[in-house]
Structure 1
Amino acid sequence: MRSRRLRRHRTIPLLLGLVLVLAACTNSGTTTTTAADTEAATVTTGDVSTDTSAPEGSGSDVADLSLAGYTIGVAVVGTQHFWDREAFEGAVAEVERLGGEVVTTDGGRDNAVHAENHDIFLTQKVDAVITILGDSAVEPKLEALQAAGIPVFGVDHASPFVVNNTGSDNFYAGESAGRLMADAIGGEGKVAVFNAFSEALKFCGDRYNTWKYVLDSAYPGIEVIQPELAEEFANAPENARQQTLDLLEQYPVGELDAIHVACWDQPAIGVVEALKEAGRTEIVVSAIDAGPDTLEIMMEDGSPWVVNVAQQPRKIATIAVDNAARYLAGETVLPQSYVDVVPVSGPAQAAAVYEQLGYGD
């Protein structure tokens, strides 16, 4: 039997055509955002809330929200990875800031354990659940929570059983990664891609599909090598390192121009290590996530990692909790909230975004 971890915290007072194509494919609305320095605004469009300023979704002002008297479950797939840990800590902090009590679980980067952990919230009859990441294994648990009258709010987990899902603008993330990577190799060449999760995780699919659409529609001189690569989840950097070394044996100097990691950026750490080991730093690397560890790699002199797209996981989770507070207060909450991403190109931008997101504090 898999072990579960339970913690308790006590109260502490793009392209319009692109968008239309993807909307038709995924049946989900989207609002394409601009770069991080766009003018602050909150825009409501159909069934989507897009926030680009303070950590608030839609409805009443965040200063008026309260979770006093409520117990909120927060389930995270794991806390080993920066993104997951930052989102988890942001959700817990916001529940406590709003006066609620928190019951937390940590799946230890095991999706099956993460799914089973949701049973704890059913047993304890919490008032709402924030579920952070996870694959399809969690769906029956979310359905059971919904059937029990316990509302669930997703953090990068779109599901028919959540009231609202809050996540990055993954369409813009994929578009930015594709455009910047293509520009970095002069608009033509051969590209390998790590794409293990586009079928299992919707947000990964959104990022990959948009990235691929940009290449297919705007860069006919770029060839995506087949078959695509598939990184392991639990030991991604080392697994990607070994796969990259194998790839380099098949594609000598002049036959491979870029390696892209479609869903996240931990595998890219191993990709960079492999390129350095093989002396193949003419190949550029691109990915999506841009936590402090990977931005630091981009900032190194001569780093082959030249493109990333930074997310704001703490802000995403904070908005999810705020949406839960609004819902429990009787407000209508839109099914989807998006948070801006920040495209990063080259070491100078990596250093600037590192400071902008507070990683240098």
Structure 2
Amino acid sequence: MKKRFSVISSLVVGLSLLVTACGSGGSGGSSTGAGGDGAAPAEEQGKRIALVMRQNVGTFSAQYINGVKAEVERNGGQLTVFNADTDLSKMASNLDAAVNQNFDGILIDHGTAEALQQGTQKAVDKNIPVVLFDTDIDIPGVPVVEQDDQKLAELSLEKMAEDIGGQGNIVKIWVAGFAPMEKRQITYEAFLKKYPDIKEIAAFGSATNNTALDTQSQMEAILRQYPNKGDITAVWAAWDEFAKGATRAIQQAGRTEIKVYGIDLSDEDLQLMQEADSPWKATAAVDPSNIGRVHAETVFKLINGEQVPDKVQLNPVLVKQDDLPTDKKVTMGDLSEYVTEWGK
């Protein structure tokens, strides 16, 4: 997750779908081209696109990458993924490598202005089109694709308030330093003021290469600290990796009276939500595959000289456990059959 952007005109896109993963790499990246197994010359493979990522963690990232890959291949291009494994200095080096290698377009996922402003400006100076996702860089002519993060938070928080009757003790799982997280926190602070009978009794969160597992361990410690039924009413998780970890900890502890509310969605998340007695009650999301597709589509528009708004904003949808059938497993590919807003 990372930082984002400015506004001139907003393109609102509602979304849905899915896929799997692409490899990750260091400063050399990993590539996948439209030419299949053949080693066709670069000029025959079309435009070379670099995807510079802060991290590739979980099924959300996997489906996002596949959305990017599908759109690049649809345009006859070749994708190279640069994964920084959460290291912002490595991410900056990867961006410099992409610029120095004269890629035809650069996609930046979850970067920060502090780490990447200089490299992004270098790309712009070399007339390399750059498109951001969840990144807070503000440079004229560099558009940002973003989810409506405050709406994501609002949808999940309001559903939680409704389900717990506007009162109770909650745990927040959140981490600073990511643009989308910071925006979600603004909504969360306003939420606590709106519902004074909802009390935050614990807060934690860290973004690592094993976020879900680390969250599970931390949530287990919280459950030991608050061992009695009724001590904790609900958990609000500002990222699906957090929600996965919290859900598993609650299930293993047999504390499924505690309700979980999250942000983001993947096939793995849907499976967890559909498990018997799952505490994960709702999540607000935009389809990650479509985020990837729109991100890549936008850079090709720039490459082709088309006008692109400063902000391309994707509308979120609330997916509730009650929306899902109990007699079959739902994937994101058929989620629109059960959540009518999904995919519109």
Q: Which structure carries more relative contact order (alpha carbon 8 Å, separation 6+)?
A: 2
Number of the residue aligned with 2:11: 49
SS in 2 for 1:157: coil
SS in 1 for 2:306: coil
Q: 1:257 aligns with which of 233, 242, 245?
A: 233
Q: Deviations over 1:96-120 (max 9, x none)?
A: 2112333332334544333321122
Residues 135-154 of structure 1: pairs in structure 2 closer than 5 A? 135=112, 136-154=114-132
Please tell me whether the aligned partners of residues 49 and 336 of structure 1 are also in contact (alpha carbons under 8 angstroms). yes
Cα displacement (A) at 1:53: 6.4
SS in 1 for 2:186: helix
Please tell me whether the aligned partners of residues 302 and 308 of structure 2 are also in contact (alpha carbons under 8 angstroms). yes
Where do 5+ consecutive residues of structure 2 fail to align? Answer: 18-43, 337-344
Confirm or deny that 1:183 pairs with 2:179.
no
Aligned partners of 2:325 and 2:107: how far apart in 1? 31
1:237 corresponds to which letter in structure 2?
A
- Length-normalised TM-score, structure 2: 0.78
Cα displacement (A) at 1:47: 2.4
Cα displacement (A) at 1:297: 0.8
Q: Deviations over 1:268-300 (max 9, x none)?
A: 222122222322211111111121111111111
> Measured at CA, do residues 111 and 353 of structure 1 come closer, stay the same or move farther in structure 2, by a change above 3 Å?
farther
Residues 24-103 of structure 1: pairs in structure 2 closer than 5 A? 46-52=8-14, 69-103=46-80
Number of the residue aligned with 1:222: 198
Q: 2:213 aligns with which of 221, 238, 261?
A: 238
Number of the residue aligned with 1:33: none
> Measured at CA, do residues 276 and 101 of structure 1 come closer, stay the same or move farther in structure 2, by a change above 3 Å?
closer
1:312 corresponds to which letter in structure 2?
D
Number of the residue aligned with 1:127: 104
Q: Deviations over 1:205-261 (max 9, x none)?
A: 2223223323422x22211225x2123422222221222122123323222111111
Aligned residue pair count? 304
Number of the residue aligned with 2:339: none
Confirm or deny that 1:115 pairs with 2:92.
yes
Give the share of equivalent positions with the same residue, in percent: 25
Cα displacement (A) at 1:337: 0.7
Where do 5+ consecutive residues of structure 1 fail to align? Answer: 1-25, 30-45, 56-66
1:214 corresponds to which letter in structure 2?
F
Q: Deviations over 1:4-33 (max 9, x none)?
A: xxxxxxxxxxxxxxxxxxxxxx9855xxxx
Number of the residue aligned with 2:223: 248
Number of the residue aligned with 2:137: 159
Aligned partners of 1:186 and 1:87: how far apart in 2? 35
Q: 2:316 aligns with which of 334, 341, 346?
A: 341
Aligned partners of 1:244 and 1:86: how far apart in 2? 26
Cα displacement (A) at 1:336: 0.8
Aligned partners of 1:68 and 1:324: how far apart in 2? 17
1:159 corresponds to which letter in structure 2?
I
Number of the residue aligned with 1:315: 290
Number of the residue aligned with 2:186: 209
Aligned partners of 1:101 and 1:236: how far apart in 2? 30
Confirm or deny that 1:306 pairs with 2:281.
yes
Aligned partners of 1:326 and 1:353: how far apart in 2? 37
Confirm or deny that 1:284 pairs with 2:259.
yes
Q: 1:195 aligns with which of 150, 155, 174?
A: 174
Please tell me whether the aligned partners of residues 178 and 215 of structure 1 are also in contact (alpha carbons under 8 angstroms). no
